[in-house]
C-alpha cells in the first residue's frame, strides 16, 4: 500500500464533504483531488518523474497542499524549504537534494493543466515521499528520507490514539515546511476526513478571532503559541475551551507552569507528545488518562524505545529510511537497528518518559552531570522571567560550568542566584545570569543553544 490508499478515505470516500477552508473559501475533498491531479499533470509535463526531487519554498497556502499531493501521486520526492531560510541555507539544500525544479511563488502560474484524472504510478510503502532537512543545530542540515510507510504509520497512530475523526474541526496555523504540520497536521486531516482551516501563520494579534470564528475542536501548537494564548481574556478562553476537544503541544518542551496556567484558563489539559524529523511521533501522553506535566507520556503503538546510558533509542515503522546521500551519517545514527535520538530521557516506575534535553546540551562540571532543563524549569518559575536557556561555558578547573541566559521584564540576578542556591545542588548553580532581549529559536520555537554558546564565552 501507499499513502494514496490512506488519503482516498477522504479524497474518494468523502469527495463531497468540505475539506478545507482557505482565505474565506471552502473546498471539498473532491476539489482537492482534482486540483492536485492538475498539478501532477503539469509537473509530469515538465519532465518530473518518480524519484525526482522537487524543492518547494512556499509559506502556508492551498497551492502547497496541491503540490504535495501531486508529488505523492507521481512518486516525486517533496523537499520543503523553511521560508525563513536565506540564500546560504537554501543553496545548501538545493545543492544537496539536486532537485529537478524549485518552486517559489513566481512559479505557481506554471502549475496549470487540463488533466482532472489521477495519474497512475507504481508506488509502494517503501517509496520515498519526502526529504525534510533537519534544523542543523550541530552543523550543516541533513536530509531525512521519509517513506510512504513512515507517513502512513504516523497518521494511523495519531488518528487512533488522539481520536481524530471526520467530526473534528481542525485549525492548522503551523508551517507546512515542518514535520509537525506536514507529517501530523496534513496527514491526520486527510486520513480522518475532518474539516481543516489553514492559516498562513500563527499571528497572536488575530489568533483569538480565528479561534472564536472557526470554533475548532482540534489544535496543534508549539510552546511559544501556548504562551501567547495565555494572554486570552478568561471569558474568551472558557468559550474557546468549551468548543475544543484537544490541544496538542510539541516540537519543544512545554514548561510546566505554562501547562498549569493554560489548564486553569481554558479548562483544558494540553496533551504533550514527543517526536523528531527522523522518527515522526514516538511518544504521547494518553488521550484518555493522565496527561502528566513535564512528561511526554508513553511510546505509541508499534514503537519500541529504550534508554542506554541516558540516551533514548527508537525502533519502529516511524523511523526514517536514512539521510539523503549520507551513508556515513546514517550508519552513525543507528546501533543494531535502533535509532539514536540524541535526546536524554528517564522513565518513571509507571512508564511515563521525561526528556532531559539533548545529549549535546549535557553539561559535565567537575565530573557531575548537569541537565540544563532542570535549571531552566526552576528559573521559569520566578517572577518576571519570560524565557530561560542554560548552556555550558568552558572552565579551566571544572571543565564546564552552567551559564543562564534570561529574558525578563524584571531582571534581578541576585534573586535568581539565591533561588538556585536554595533549591539546587551547588554544582548546578549557574556561574552567571545574562540578560538578553530574546532567545534564538527555530521557526517552531526550538531553542538554538549553539547560537548562545559564543555569547557565553565573551567577557562581560
Q: Where are the beta strands (DSSP E) in 70-228?
A: 77-80, 101-103, 128-133, 143-147, 169-172, 195-198, 218-221
Tell which residue, 131, 108, 123, has the closest CA to residue 39: 108
Query: C-alpha grid cell for residue 390?
Result: 542554560
User: Residue 47: which region, alpha, beta or left (left: phi > 0; alpha: psi -120 to 50)?
Assistant: left
Amino acid 362: pLDDT: 86
In 3D space, the residue among 373, 378, 380, 404 whose CA is nearest the CA of residue 391 turns out to be 404
DSSP character for 180? I
| Residue 413 burial (10 A CB sphere; 0-12, 13-18, 19+) | middle
Distance CA 215, CA 217 (A): 7
Report angle CA 295, 296, 297 to the nearest 5 degrees: 95
**416-419: long-range contacts, CB 8 A cutoff, minimum separation 24:** 416/379, 416/382, 416/385, 419/378, 419/379, 419/382
**pLDDT computed for residue 453 by the predictor:** 64
The neighbour count for residue 325, using CB atoms within 10 Å, is 14
Q: Tens digit of pLDDT per residue, the chain (460 long)? A: 999 999 999 999 999 999 999 999 999 999 999 999 999 999 999 999 999 999 999 999 999 999 999 999 999 999 999 998 888 889 999 999 999 999 999 999 999 999 999 999 999 999 999 999 986 545 578 999 999 999 999 999 999 999 999 999 999 999 999 999 999 999 999 999 999 999 999 999 999 999 999 999 999 999 889 989 999 999 999 999 999 999 999 988 898 999 999 999 999 999 999 999 999 999 999 999 999 999 999 999 999 999 999 999 999 999 999 999 999 999 999 999 999 999 999 999 999 999 988 888 889 888 788 888 889 989 999 999 999 999 998 888 788 899 999 999 989 999 999 999 999 888 899 999 999 999 998 877 788 888 886 544 443 3
Tell me the C-alpha distance between 373 and 255, whole Å. 10
Q: Which residues contact 69 (CB under 8 A, 6 or more apart)?
A: 7, 32, 33, 36, 39, 40
Q: What share of the chain is helix, strand, coil (3-state, %, to 5)?
A: 35, 25, 40
Res 437: pLDDT: 93
Degrees, nearest 5: CA angle 36-37-43: 85
Output phi, psi for 212, to 5 deg: -75, -35
Residue appearing with cell numbers 512508564:
351
Residue 265 near residue 287 (C-beta atoms within 8 A): no
Amino acid at each position: 500500500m501507499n499513502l494514496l490508499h490512506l488519503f482516498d478515505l477522504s479524497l474518494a470516500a468523502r469527495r463531497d464533504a468540505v475539506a478545507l477552508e482557505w482565505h474565506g473559501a471552502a473546498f471539498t475533498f473532491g476539489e482537492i483531488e482534482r486540483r492536485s491531479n492538475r498539478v501532477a499533470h503539469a509537473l509530469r509535463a515538465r519532465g518530473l518523474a518518480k524519484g525526482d526531487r522537487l524543492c518547494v519554498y512556499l509559506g502556508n497556502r492551498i497551492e502547497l497542499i496541491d503540490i504535495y499531493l501531486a508529488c505523492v501521486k507521481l512518486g516525486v520526492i517533496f523537499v520543503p524549504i523553511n521560508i525563513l531560510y536565506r540564500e546560504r541555507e537554501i543553496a545548501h539544500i538545493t545543492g544537496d537534494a539536486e532537485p529537478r525544479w524549485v518552486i517559489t511563488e513566481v512559479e505557481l502560474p506554471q502549475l496549470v493543466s487540463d488533466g482532472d484524472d489521477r495519474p497512475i504510478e507504481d508506488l509502494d510503502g517503501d517509496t520515498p515521499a519526502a526529504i525534510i532537512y533537519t534544523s542543523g543545530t550541530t552543523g550543516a542540515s541533513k536530509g531525512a528520507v521519509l517513506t510512504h510507510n513512515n507517513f502512513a504509520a504516523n497518521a494511523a497512530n495519531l488518528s487512533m490514539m488522539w481520536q481524530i475523526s471526520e467530526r473534528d474541526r481542525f485549525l492548522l496555523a503551523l508551517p507546512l515546511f515542518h514535520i509537525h504540520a506536514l507529517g501530523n497536521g496534513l496527514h491526520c486531516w486527510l486520513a480522518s476526513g475532518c474539516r481543516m482551516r489553514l492559516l498562513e501563520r500563527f499571528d497572536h494579534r488575530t489568533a483569538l478571532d480565528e479561534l472564536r470564528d472557526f470554533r475548532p475542536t482540534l489544535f496543534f501548537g508549539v510552546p511559544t503559541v501556548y504562551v501567547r494564548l495565555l494572554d486570552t481574556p478568561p471569558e474568551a478562553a472558557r468559550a474557546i475551551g468549551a468548543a475544543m476537544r484537544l490541544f496538542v503541544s510539541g516540537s519543544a518542551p512545554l514548561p510546566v507552569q505554562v501547562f498549569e496556567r493554560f489548564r486553569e484558563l481554558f479548562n483544558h489539559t494540553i496533551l504533550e507528545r514527543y517526536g523528531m524529523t527522523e522518527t515522526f511521533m514516538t511518544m504521547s501522553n494518553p488521550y484518555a488518562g493522565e496527561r502528566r506535566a513535564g512528561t511526554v507520556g508513553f511510546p505509541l503503538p508499534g514503537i519500541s524505545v529504550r534508554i542506554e546510558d541516558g540516551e533514548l533509542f527508537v525502533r519502529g515503522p516511524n523511523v526514517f529510511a536514512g539521510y539523503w546521500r549520507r551513508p556515513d551519517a546514517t550508519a552513525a545514527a543507528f546501533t543494531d537497528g535502533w535509532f539514536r535520538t540524541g535526546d536524554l530521557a528517564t522513565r518513571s516506575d509507571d512508564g511515563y518518559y521525561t526528556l532531559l534535553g539533548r545529549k549535546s546540551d549535557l553539561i559535565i562540571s567537575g565530573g557531575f552531570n548537569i541537565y540544563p532543563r532542570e535549571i531552566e524549569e526552576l528559573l521559569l518559575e520566578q517572577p518576571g522571567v519570560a524565557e530561560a536557556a542554560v548552556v555550558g561555558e568552558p572552565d579551566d578547573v571544572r571543565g564546564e560550568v552552567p551559564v543562564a541566559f534570561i529574558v525578563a521584564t524584571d531582571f534581578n540576578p541576585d534573586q535568581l542566584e539565591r533561588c538556585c542556591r536554595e533549591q539546587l545542588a551547588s554544582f548546578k548553580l549557574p556561574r552567571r545570569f545574562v540578560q538578553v532581549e530574546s532567545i534564538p529559536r527555530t521557526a517552531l520555537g526550538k531553542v538554538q543553544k549553539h547560537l548562545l554558546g559564543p555569547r557565553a564565552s565573551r567577557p562581560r
